[in-house]
Amino acid sequence: MPFGLIFRKAVLWHDGAQHVFKNLKETAERERMLWDFRCATPNGVRLHATIDGRGESVLSLPYTKTDCSGVFEVANNSIASASLVLETDGRTTELLETTSGAVLEIVG
Find, among 9, 47, 34, the residue nearest to 102 by Cα: 34
CA atoms of 37 and 18, how far apart (whole Å): 19
pLDDT at 1: 46
When divided into structural domains, the chain yields a total of: 1
Q: Is residue 8 part of a domain?
A: no
Q: Is residue 67 part of a domain?
A: yes
- What confidence tens digit (pLDDT) does each residue in 15-55 have? 898 999 988 898 888 788 899 999 999 888 999 999 999 88
pLDDT at 5: 66
- What confidence tens digit (pLDDT) does each residue in 78-103 have? 899 999 999 988 888 999 999 888 88
Q: Is residue 1 part of a domain?
A: no
Q: Is residue 2 part of a domain?
A: no
Q: Is residue 61 part of a domain?
A: yes
Which residue range(s) make up the domain with 54? 16-107
Q: Is residue 6 part of a domain?
A: no
Q: Is residue 10 part of a domain?
A: no
CA separation, residue 52 to residues 17, 21, 102 (Å) = 26, 21, 9
Question: pTM value?
Answer: 0.76
